[in-house]
Amino acid sequence: MYKKCNQCKKGFKTSDKRNKFCCLNCYHQSQKENPNKGTFRYRKEPVWNKGLKGIHLSKETEFKKGQRGINWKDIGSITVRKDKNKKIRKWIKVKEPNVWELLAVYNWKQKFGEIKKGLVIHHKDFNCLNDNIKNLIAISRAQHINIHR
């Protein structure tokens, strides 16, 4: 197939009908002069839901105002899940929306008040799920590390 170069207008022979330039120099020169020419641009087509704000396509399955999700829990609910160190712990919901606290810390605060700065709550029997107040002790972080070594 014989074609004409888009840059230098010289004739060249090619077997590929997509070729528009006779050489790489002509292609690069064309890209320098017109960087966006020849690139694919998406057509702007109208969006199907333009101007339909507030349209209700299925009222039966939509959330109603004030409706809670299926995984909503009451304040005081206790769940068992992993903490950031991958240990299984008990958590209690203390406030809305979604404020959870370790049950061991919550029990300590109920009995003795706030935990002093620099102290952590330790389980005496090393069972993280036993959050009985008799099993809890407040110790410094350094002591806690030494115990678990």
User: Which pLDDT score is estimated for 113?
Assistant: 92
The answer to whether residue 116 scores a pLDDT higher than 70 is yes
Considering the chain, what percentage of its residues have pLDDT values greater than 90?
A: 54
SS3 content of the chain, % helix, strand, coil (to 5): 20, 20, 55
The model's confidence at residue 40, banded by pLDDT at 50, 70 and 90, is: low
Token pair in block for residue 93: 């919901």
Residue entry with tokens 């022979």: 13
User: Which pLDDT score is estimated for 83?
Assistant: 87
From 149, 144, 142, 140, select the one nearest 123 (Cα to Cα): 144
What amino acid is encoded at 129 in this protein?
A: L
User: Which pLDDT score is estimated for 44?
Assistant: 73
User: Which pLDDT score is estimated for 67?
Assistant: 84
pTM of structure: 0.58
